[in-house]
């Protein structure tokens, strides 16, 4: 089983919710579990951290957390290796009233002024990365059009569309899902409706 969760009978306010992720090749999650210390609820999964889709334990955690909870993770890369995805996850958790605590990187904890500052810097870096990527994409598209070989590809794949449907069914807003997947709301609506490049 890729995702495992240690369940509690109720959800009292202000729980410590732990999240552990190891790659499919790394079977040893004990060090991360030990680093988190005592938690009220623990989510673990063995899966790549390349993106946030297809991670059932993380999806369940995002649905479970409530206002006043603290999500405790050993390090930011356990949530995501992408700065953009990491910031989107933190934003989603904060929108639910939950704080995020990184054991190895307390300077990024969202409940401290230093953490707020560091996250602002990361957001600026992510914005610069996105702008650079868009510029390179535009250059590549222009060159492809000159060669007559450009064809627009769908922004979302089938796994991302399935993930979006699951999150919507669980009560997540489409705007939050679009931010998490790094697409526009219009792209998400088009993909869900199966129009254009997403028609079968």
Question: From the candidates 23, 107, 158, 184, which is the catalytic residue?
Answer: 23
50 falls within a domain:
yes
Domain final residue pick, 47, 80, 115? 115
Question: Is 23 labeled as catalytic in the residue annotation?
Answer: yes
- For residue 162, name the pLDDT band (cuts at 50, 70, 90): confident
- For residue 10, name the pLDDT band (cuts at 50, 70, 90): low
Domain count, the chain: 2
77 falls within a domain:
yes
- For residue 153, name the pLDDT band (cuts at 50, 70, 90): low
Give the 3-state secondary structure of the chain.
CCEEEECCCCCCCCCEEEEEEECCCCCCCHHHHHHHCCCCEEEEEECCCCCCCCCHHHHHHHHHCCCCCEEEECCHHHHCCCHHHHHHHHHHHHHCCCEEEECCCHHHCCCCHHHHHHHHHHHHHHHHHHHHHHHHHHHHHHHHHHHCCCCCCCCCCHHHHHHHHHHHHCCCCHHHHHHHHCCCHHHHHHHHHCCHHHCC
190 falls within a domain:
yes
């Amino acid at each position: 089983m890729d995702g495992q969760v240690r369940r509690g009978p109720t959800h009292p306010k202000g729980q410590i919710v732990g999240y552990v992720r190891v790659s499919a090749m790394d079977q040893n999650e004990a060090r991360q579990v030990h680093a988190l210390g005592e938690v009220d609820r623990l989510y673990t999964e063995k899966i790549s951290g390349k993106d946030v889709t297809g991670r059932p334990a993380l999806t369940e955690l995002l649905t479970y957390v409530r206002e006043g909870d603290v999500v405790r993770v050993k390090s930011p890369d356990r949530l995501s290796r992408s700065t953009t995805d990491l910031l989107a996850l933190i934003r989603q958790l904060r929108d639910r009233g939950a704080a995020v605590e990184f054991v190895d990187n307390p300077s990024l904890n969202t409940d401290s002024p230093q953490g707020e500052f560091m996250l602002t810097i990361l957001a600026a870096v992510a914005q610069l990365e996105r702008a650079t990527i868009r510029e390179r994409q535009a250059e590549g598209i222009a060159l492809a059009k000159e060669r007559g070989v450009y064809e627009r590809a769908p922004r979302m794949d089938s796994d991302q569309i399935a993930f979006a449907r699951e999150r919507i069914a669980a009560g997540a807003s489409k705007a939050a899902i679009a931010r998490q997947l790094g697409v526009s709301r219009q792209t998400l609506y088009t993909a869900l409706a199966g129009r254009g490049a997403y028609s079968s």
